[in-house]
Amino acid sequence: MSDTPSSALQIKPLLYQSHQTPFTEWVTLLTLCLAPLIAHIVAGVPRTSPLCSHRPKWHQYLCHFNPTSILWRYAAITDRRIRANTWDRADLAAANTLFWTAQGWDGSEAMVSESLTFCSHLPEHGRVSLASREMVKTVIVTLQGVQASILLTGVLTNVYGADFPVWLGVDAIFFPLAFIGLLRLTCGFWLTDDYAYSAPRIQDYQDPLRRGLAEAALSLDSLHEAPSTPRARGDEPRSDPYRKPSFWLARAFRAVYLLPIIGVWIITILYLRQALQLTTTAFLTLLFHFVLLGATAVICAFYFARDRTTSTVIPCISARWYQAYSALLGVFMLALFVVACVETRRTACGKYTSGPPYTGEINACRVGGMDLVVLGEEGRILAENPDIPLDAVGFGITTSAGGAVTPPGSFLVYNFTGTCLGSVLLSSGRRISPPPGRQQQ
């Protein structure tokens, strides 16, 4: 970025522009805004399987909704599958479960065999079925990830308009999170929710009579249903089910896995460097993804380099600093959402923008050769702005309001206030003067 004042990044003050947005449009806006968040955050967090009497507190469970934890989980499942000497239904179920034990969260490889005592249902196969609900989720979020990647790279190459991130509205503040869908594809064949673990509940009964009834019910239930776990069938524990985390193929995968995370992080830096001015919404959006992706890349790279991928739960899940980071990330997202709701308004071409009147519309609607031309007094004022390349101050026609045709080579110019959306051929412009003795109206 140049040291000259003209090229310094400017953050526009917060503008209250959403007061004219009707309720029906707010429903559409909130749907577009929260869809990537729900699709990739909620779908990326598996079910919890408590194996002890007490349950995790809200701040302990909150960390799993952190995108960093979700990206770690996808990498750890794929890494475990690569290192597996044998892979069966028990491996698939344990890799997808969040085990809560007396010592905290546990997603280690040892839980594959230790958790079988508490397993009441296993998947049908060692991989997910193509017709399963999880595979449908994977397809949907992958398509969204492809869309986000095309848009991100298209903006940098000026295919979709370089000003897109400068004037974006609330409907697009979380769309970069859709790239998580591409990383989910790495473990798409080993993501399932077709499992069930339950801790013994008999010890929870303090009354001896109720405890005896529970034991009797448990004994009767076992007569009606065949054992479903390998341990109950008498299978012997496997020896060395997984290779070491230092296995070269696993290390190669982890290195490749980091590339898109670092790549999108670099894209946010390029946006900040090439943009001369940003709205408050756009600046907070870029700053949020800069912090999130930067922290994710650093944390994952640190544990990847130390071969700490034996657990599907990120190793720092119980650390106070990681819990604080997850909470601050949630507060940041809420603040970004509120600011974007305040600044977002609908443009003349139907898009939403956080930019100021006219200037935001011209930049938001300039896509694929289409320009928004402002007519009237506002057009004359905007013509003095170096960011606006078009100088349109009126609306010229060859027929007057009464139907009379103007002489050849002349036309009437009216001070029409509004906007025209279309393609302007600048080379066709020509200067026309009214005939002598005839004034322009």
Residue 57 covered by a domain: yes
List, in sequence order, every residue forming a beta bridge with 374; answer none if it has no partner: 419
Domain that holds residue 264: 9-345
**pLDDT at res. 215:** 47
422: which strand partners? 371
Residues 22 and 61 in one domain: yes
CA separation, residue 206 to residues 211, 220, 273 (Å): 7, 21, 65
Q: How far apart are CA 52 and CA 199, in angstroms?
A: 6
Can you tell me the distance from the alpha carbon of 398 to that of 410, in angstroms, rounded to the nearest whole number?
A: 7
Q: Is residue 250 part of a domain?
A: yes
| Residue 239 and residue 288 share a domain | yes
- Asked which of 313, 345, 377 is the last residue of a domain, the reply is 345
Residue 24 in any domain: the answer is yes
Residue 68 amino acid letter: T
Same domain (yes/no): 379, 336:
no
Burial 416-430 (b: 16+ CB within 10 A, else e): eeebeeeebeeeeee
What one-letter code names the amino acid at 345?
R
H or E element, residue 422: strand 418-422
Q: Could you tell me if 137 and 245 lie in one domain? A: yes
Same domain, 227 and 195: yes
Residues 181 and 296 placed together within one structural domain of the fold: yes
Looking at residue 224, its pLDDT comes to 35
E strand or H helix at 372, and its extent?
strand 371-375
Check residue 257 and give its pLDDT.
95
The parts of the chain modelled with pLDDT lower than 50 are 1-6, 160-162, 202-205, 209-211, 213-235, 379-384, 386, 388-391, 438-441
Sorted by sequence, the CB contacts under 8 Å of residue 380 that are 6+ apart come out as 393
Domain count, the chain: 2
Pairing of strands 48-50, 345-346: unpaired
Residues 373 and 267 reside in one and the same domain: no
Q: In this structure, is residue 119 part of a structural domain?
A: yes
The verdict on residue 350 lying in a domain is: no
Residues 42 and 188 in one domain: yes
Its pTM stands at 0.78
The verdict on 60 and 179 lying in the same domain is yes
